[in-house]
């Protein structure tokens, strides 16, 4: 008597190619989207403040983020002011802030400056804010707990 | 003969199936590295907010007398690396921002209005980190209205000439 034959085996093959395609599309999407969001913040060595609130972008509302960045290859030279990814001079920044203030009187100026810079470079921005009528000024800082001594 | 008799008669060859996980692992590793790098940039940043007075600007109104609750001045220390703090023109007893915090907290405890104006008068050569540390000490003590005394002249050019 012949032994019973095993049931028919269904051929299975897991096709991962479509999933890889979709995941690659997602990665590209998130990389581009993240660059759009983060572009306003350059990587800077910010000063620390333990009382700083979390940077909630919805709470900040309409804003102009000004980065004050030292050129690492020439630290003795004056820093450059960058809005978005465009370096601008102070007169151009004044024009930009004036235009933003005309569009929205509650616009906020976010100043992100490197910790070792002389205050004068930040004061120039505060002066422009005062002259253009922008009252909402915010400093971007690092939220780390550490003591600072003069 | 049963309905499936023909199937039993012609068995199909069996095939071993193993899903190829290598591409998925590659993709997941890329995602992991991407988010690890992205998160490290965004995690620890915060903000300190202030309001510039509304009575300045082009064609500003009448001159306003500012009477701050506390006026703190920052001057560069000898050698230029540190900072000297003075309150109402008198050098701060102590040598650090913790001493400033204790002084300001004492003012609050003695009944100073936390919404009163604290004005920082900063020498242009003082390091920005010391300005933020002063601002932070005021906020820690409970003062909510920290402002800056601004010179009408742009002093950045003077500083850039004098930087080492």
Query: In this structure, is residue B13 part of a structural domain?
Result: no
CA A140/CA A18 separation, integer angstroms:
43
- Residue B126 lies inside a defined structural domain of this protein: yes
- B114 domain residue, yes or no: yes
What is the tally of structural domains in chain B?
1
The pLDDT value recorded for residue A122 is 93
CATH number at residue B103: 3.30.420.270
Q: How does the average pLDDT of chain A come out, rounded?
A: 82
CATH placement of domain A57-139 = 3.30.420.270
Q: Bigger pLDDT: A12 or B112?
A: B112
Residue B81 maps to a domain: yes
Tell me which residue of B86, B157, B76, B52 sits closest to A120, measured CA to CA.
B157
> Considering the domain boundaries, does residue B93 fall inside one?
yes
Looking at residue B113, its pLDDT comes to 84
Q: How far is B110 from chain A (nearest CA, A)?
A: 22
Give how far B140 is from chain A: nearest CA, Å. 6
In chain A, the percentage of residues whose pLDDT exceeds 70 is 87
- Flag whether B130 is in a domain: yes
Q: Which ipTM was obtained for this model?
A: 0.73
Q: What is the pLDDT along chain B (164 residues), one digit of tens a residue?
A: 445 555 556 666 677 677 777 777 787 778 777 776 765 555 467 777 777 765 554 444 544 555 567 889 998 887 767 888 998 888 887 768 889 999 999 988 888 888 888 889 999 889 999 999 999 999 999 998 888 887 766 666 555 444 43
Give a yes or no: residue B18 inside a domain.
no
| Domain spans of chain A, in order of start | 57-139
Q: Within a domain: residue B4?
A: no
Structural domain boundaries, residue B91: 70-162
Under 8 Å CB pairs connecting chains A and B tally to: 219
**Residue of A57, A118, A145 to mutate for B, most B C-beta atoms under 10 A:** A118
């Amino acid at each position: 008597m012949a032994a019973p034959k095993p049931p028919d085996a269904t051929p299975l093959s897991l096709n991962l190619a479509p999933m890889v395609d979709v995941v690659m599309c997602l990665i590209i999407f998130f990389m581009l989207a993240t660059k759009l969001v983060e572009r306003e913040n350059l990587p800077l060595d910010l000063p620390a403040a333990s009382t700083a609130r979390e940077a909630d972008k919805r709470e900040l509302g309409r804003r102009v983020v000004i980065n004050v960045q030292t050129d690492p290859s020439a630290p003795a030279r004056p820093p450059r002011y960058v809005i978005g990814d465009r370096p601008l001079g102070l007169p151009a920044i004044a024009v930009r802030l004036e235009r933003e203030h005309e569009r929205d009187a509650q616009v906020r100026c976010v100043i992100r400056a490197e910790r070792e810079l002389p205050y004068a470079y930040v004061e120039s921005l505060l002066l422009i804010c005062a002259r253009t009528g922008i009252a909402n000024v915010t400093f971007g800082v690092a939220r780390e707990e550490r003591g600072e001594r003069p | 003969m049963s309905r499936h008799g023909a199937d039993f008669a012609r068995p199909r060859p069996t095939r071993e199936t193993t899903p190829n996980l290598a591409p998925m692992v590659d993709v997941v590793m890329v995602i992991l590295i991407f988010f690890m790098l992205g998160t490290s940039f965004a995690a620890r940043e915060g903000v300190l907010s202030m309001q510039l007075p509304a009575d300045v600007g082009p064609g500003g109104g009448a001159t306003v007398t500012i009477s701050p609750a506390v006026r703190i001045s920052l001057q560069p220390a000898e050698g230029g690396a540190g900072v000297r703090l003075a309150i109402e023109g008198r050098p701060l007893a102590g040598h650090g921002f913790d001493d400033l915090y204790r002084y300001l907290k004492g003012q609050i405890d003695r009944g100073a209005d936390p919404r009163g104006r604290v004005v920082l008068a900063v020498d242009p050569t003082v390091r920005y980190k010391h300005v933020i540390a002063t601002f932070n000490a005021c906020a820690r003590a409970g003062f909510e209205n920290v402002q800056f005394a601004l010179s009408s002249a742009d002093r950045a050019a003077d500083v850039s000439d004098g930087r080492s």
